[in-house]
Structure 1
Amino acid sequence: MKKMTRFSLIVVVLLVTSIIAAGTVWGYSALRKVDATANDNIKIYYNGELQAFTDTDGSKISPVIINGRTYLPLWAISELVGVDIEWDGNTQSIYLTSNAENPANTGTPKPQTSPTPNTNTSKPSNTTNKNKGTIDDPVKFGDTYYWSAREEYIDNYASADYSFTVLDVQPVTLDYIESLGFSLNSNASNFDYAMVTVKVTVSNAKVEYGEEFMNLPFYRRIWGTETPTGQYVIGGTDFGFEGSLSDKAEEAVLDSKGFIKMIKAGEVCEFSYTGKAIIPLTKNAENYLVVEKDASLDYEDSFLYFRLK
């Protein structure tokens, strides 16, 4: 692991400051107001190269002055100096990891690219994905994938930041599936089956109109499985048995009386859940778990692919 440079240490300070300022649902006692001034004239150079920071919508990001000190968003600096960032909204914890593949501190400036404005495919700004999540570059087993989405939900719109991790995969038999109370059709023996355990986090979750049950607009549906060669099986059972993914998603948003919480327009919520699903597998082939990422995208772009081994 690389030693943290003085510049990297500044990132940590920026990180803590930004989280205190940006806290929402959890930990109100940690919030405090500050007077800040954006200064468009301040220039940032890295390894002698002038840097231009832009947000995910393409707008310019300017340094902010607070009590005589200069601040920038953590994600902008972290990408320059080679630090991967993970944010756990449930525990208000930030995890920093040195990224050996990043060209930081090598004397070679990192190229600047302009983000695509107004898309739903960008990941939350304080995270780093190691894979694209496509069928050609699936998420590695055990890795966490982060993204943001704004989708139509019935007659409403829901937006949130998400993360998804495959924690465990265990083969299961048809007898075991029947023991859970499920009926199997005549084609069931044409496939293998596995029980997957996954963790989902939902943060910065909002609806735009009225109110909705908190779990439903943000539930990530398992589409099925697909092989690297394009063979696929649509389906998966994520309900109806102890520890199922849908049950755990509901449990995560129950109030003290056991009722599902509601989210109203203008409110923000965060929750996470870990649950199980039974998935069909193409026999004698490597299979990827396919999860619905963003229903607002074109069909082929709306899914994420996760390795199962």
Structure 2
Amino acid sequence: MKKFKKVSSSIVVVLIISIIAAGMVWSVSATRKVDATANDNIKIYYDGNLKAFTETDGSKISPVIIGGRTYLPLRAVADLVGLGVEWVSDTQSIKLTSNNSGIPYKDNTPVQTQPSASTAPSTTAPVSSTPAPVNSSKSAGTLEDPIKLGETFSWSATEKYINTTASADYTCTVKKVEPITYEEVTKLGFKVTSDKDKIEYAMITLDMSVSNAKITSGDAYLHLPFMRYVSGSKTPSGASIIGGTDYGFEGSLKKAAENVNKDSQGFLKKIKAGEVHNYKYEGKVILPLAKGQENYLWLTKDSSLEYSVRHAFFKLK
């Protein structure tokens, strides 16, 4: 029996979903007013990584406090952990589905590691002899100046990671953009949107490198503090589609990050305070796109920054 990942022990998912139409008339006996307070300071971690929830227009979703409990929109949490959400207006019901047995739900069991072997101080993957051109403009990566397809974007980030601080230098290149059909996405084990007139999908190949990676205290599985996540796609006007599937299939970006950080016996390596690591990997992301429009890949580059500047955008054509 599958176990659903706890996003946080303090998070209670409330039935507030974006697919409920505005102005829906509810039974008087089933509704009541509550006092609620939005708290922008609450941080949500998933698999040890700080997550940012946003509306389709890119605006921030803040956790809400009601009666001492913390609530998040059901749609945002369901998208994060790979659940299907359906609103049935006739019966005023919300249906959650696990989509497909191929989706990798995780429990709290620690990943197996080699008990006695120490972590090597450096891990370096082969580097291409023909590096992509680098965009070093100060405005590079913004909606006004997105990174061109095939160009490499570099930046540095220092972020809180659980009970430590992680810092590294990063580079990212969108190497390939391939169309992928609804049927192909379904075969990989993922549910697709039913709005085929507005949404299409692409398989994006990213080349990532991490250098000077270090933490200030404790230890952690090497790939986790430095994993960069695809938030979704945006159009030049700023319209956004939240979600990019970078896990759960062979060749995915997250799987590639794990594979390059395994030792010769197949155990995941750990990084300890005082060590410096370097590594490189290439992986794929299934990305929803606004049909008939120009789209940019939307990557979270540094979660410690203000929301308006924490992302980088990459052209897909």
* TM-score of the superposed pair, with normalisation by structure 1: 0.59
SS at match of 1:291: strand
CA deviation after TM superposition for structure 1 residue 253, in Å: 0.3
* Count of matched residue positions in the alignment of Structure 1 and Structure 2: 197
Structure 2 counterpart of 1:144, which letter? Answer: T
Q: CA RMSD in A?
A: 2.6
In 2, distance between residues paired with 1:189 and 1:278? 18
CA deviation after TM superposition for structure 1 residue 188, in Å: 6.1
More helix by share: 1
Partner of 1:121: none
Partner of 1:179: 187
In 1, distance between residues paired with 2:128 and 2:207? 17
Give the share of equivalent positions with the same residue, in percent.
45
SS at match of 2:201: strand
CA deviation after TM superposition for structure 1 residue 303, in Å: 0.2
Partner of 1:152: 160
Partner of 2:78: none
Structure 2 counterpart of 1:230, which letter? Answer: G
1:57-76 alignment to 2 at 5 Å? none
Which runs of no fewer than 5 residues in structure 2 stay unpaired?
A: 1-119
Structure 1 counterpart of 2:230, which letter? Answer: I
Does structure 2 retain, via aligned residues, the 8 Å contact 1:162–1:202? yes
| 1:188–1:206 CA distance, 2 compared to 1 (3 A) | farther
CA deviation after TM superposition for structure 1 residue 187, in Å: 4.3
Does structure 1 retain, via aligned residues, the 8 Å contact 2:175–2:207? yes
1:118-137 alignment to 2 at 5 Å? 129-130=136-137, 132-137=140-145
In 1, distance between residues paired with 2:202 and 2:125? 29
* More relative contact order, 1 or 2 (CA 8 Å, 6+ apart): 2
Q: Provide, for residues 11-42 of structure 1, a one-character-per-residue CA deviation record: whole Å limited to 9, x for no partner.
A: xxxxxxxxxxxxx9569xxxxxxxxxxxxxxx
Structure 2 counterpart of 1:176, which letter? Answer: E
Structure 1 counterpart of 2:315, which letter? Answer: R
Partner of 2:258: 250
SS at match of 2:145: coil
1:197-276 alignment to 2 at 5 Å? 197-276=205-284
Q: Larger Cα Rg: Structure 1 or Structure 2?
A: 1
Partner of 1:305: 313
| 1:239–1:159 CA distance, 2 compared to 1 (3 A) | same
* TM-score of the superposed pair, with normalisation by structure 2: 0.58
| 1:128–1:235 CA distance, 2 compared to 1 (3 A) | closer
Does structure 2 retain, via aligned residues, the 8 Å contact 1:25–1:270? no
